[in-house]
Amino acid sequence: MSKQTHTEPIDLEALQQRDKKAFAQLVNQNSNRIYRLALKMVGNEQDAEDVLQETFIKAYKSIEGFEGRSKISTWLYRIAVNESLMLLRKRKDGVTHIDAGIKQDNGDIIPRQIIDWCCLPEKELMSSEVRDHIRKAIQTLSDANRAAFLLRDVEGLSTREASQALNISESALKVRLMRSRMQLREELTAFFKGRMAEENV
Amino acid sequence: MMHQHDTDCKMILNNLSAYIDGELDEDLCQKIETHLETCQNCRIVVDTLKKTIDIYQKDGEKTTLPPDVRTRLFACLALEDDASRDE
């Protein structure tokens, strides 16, 4: 699980008085995770950097609004998700995402491909080609589903924290998470099916 | 007509995420595990789903903030970048 180390608790009072040192500490402890989320939300480094900078600029401007009901990192994730969604909305040119490759039956998600690729060697599962493919695959999720998956499964937030960051109910979060996981499983299964077929030629 | 086995497969699909997150109550969890012992297809779906998440987690761990991006971030916020990184 991708977790950032908190070496020292941040003085919230100092932060709310816009103490530069306290804010530098906040940036220091959270910039890596915010960049990672932004990169995977928007899919390219330049836009991820814009989201990263905007997130901390907004955090600095609105720190009084942080009431401490969630972790400060959850609050930052929330700003970063909103910034990413705004950027994605601007970028979209009428193309809408459809959760292709997934069939739904009365709200259930039915797996289409049943192939056991877990037996592949770890080296192959984490090759640069696979990493390149999974980065493309995650972009096929709807923006809302991708945010849920990233917060819960990549950033390691609890269901409650992820639902707070997205401002949705825990049950809505779980639905988005399930759909994302199943869609990505289908994407990876199709990919590894091709790889296994090549090996057997 | 749906057979018991199919009903159990459906029950697993409906609870898959909660099952792999360890959020199910003991009875349901036990029922799923009993089914997984005999249903290869469901077992493959469970295993490949867990592996999918695992691959994304590992990829996430390898994604770090590039030093030049960090430098520009501190500069745009007019903050001093403490050389000792906490992250």
Give the model's pLDDT for residue A92.
79
Its ipTM equals 0.90
Confidence of residue A195 (pLDDT cuts 50, 70, 90): confident
CATH class of A12-91: mainly alpha
Q: How far is A187 from chain B (nearest CA, A)?
A: 9
At residue B28, the pLDDT reads 94
Question: How much is the average pLDDT of A19-44?
Answer: 97
| Positive/negative CA dihedral, A56, A62, A68, A70 | negative
Q: What is the pLDDT of residues B28-79, one digit of tens each?
A: 999 999 999 999 999 999 999 999 999 999 999 999 999 999 999 999 999 9
**Segment among A96-110, A114-128, B26-40 with least mean pLDDT:** A96-110
CATH class belonging to A103-200: mainly alpha
Would you tell me which residues 55-74 of chain B have a C-beta closer than 8 angstroms to some C-beta of chain A? 55-66, 69-70, 72-74
Half-sphere exposure for A147 (CA within 13 Å, toward CB): 24
Show me where the domains of chain A are located.
12-91, 103-200
pLDDT at B1 over 80: no
Q: Report the distance separating Cα B77 and Cα A68, nearest Å.
A: 23
Q: Do domains A12-91 and A103-200 have the same CATH topology?
A: no
- Is the overall model pTM greater than 0.95, yes or no? no
- Which residues from chain A sit within 8 angstroms of residue B16, using beta carbons? 178, 181-182
The whole-number pLDDT of residue A100 equals 46
